[in-house]
Amino acid sequence: MAVSINHDMDQGSNFSFSIVAKGSDGLPLSLTGSTASCQMRKYYTSGTAITLATALTGGTGYILVSLGATGTSQTKPGVYFYDVELQSSNGSVVQRLVQGMITVYPEVTRV
């Protein structure tokens, strides 16, 4: 079962968070050849999604999820649902690692 973690995103700023994928033994998974995906949506049923970039570090289980300042500035303020899924190197296993809500706070300064 996925871990639930909520995040705050500032509109117009770089946004990122990291997770470490671990096996049932508590040790980091080898992510070599695997891929990760992350999307956020206003509602679970929304047809429109914002895709966040994912970067994996092979044998450490480390996954960095990010959205640049341009992407966050185009995201409307409010609460969104997200999850991060890991797909095995052969594509046979898909596992949801983390899920939760991202609250986007509006940008005030515009230069």
Is the distance from CB of 92 to CB of 49 less than 8 angstroms? no
Q: pLDDT band at 83, cuts 50/70/90?
A: very high
Q: Rounded to two decimals, what is the model's pTM? A: 0.91
Is the distance from CB of 78 to CB of 40 less than 8 angstroms? no
pLDDT top residue among 64 and 24: 64
Q: What is the pLDDT of residue 59?
A: 80
Q: What is the pLDDT of residue 90?
A: 81
- Please state the domain count of the chain: 1
Does 25 map to a domain? Answer: yes
Identify the CATH number of the domain in which residue 77 sits. Answer: 2.60.40.10
Tell me what percent of the residues of the chain surpass a pLDDT of 70.
Answer: 100
Does 66 map to a domain? Answer: yes
Closest to 86 (Cα-Cα) out of 68, 73, 98: 98
Q: pLDDT band at 85, cuts 50/70/90?
A: very high
Does 30 map to a domain? Answer: yes
| Domain hosting residue 63, numbered range | 3-105
Does 111 map to a domain? Answer: no
Does 28 map to a domain? Answer: yes
Does 53 map to a domain? Answer: yes
DSSP 3-66: EE--EEEETTS-EEEEEE-B-TTSSBPP-TT-EEEEEEESSTT-S--EEEEEEEEGGGTEEEEE
Does 110 map to a domain? Answer: no
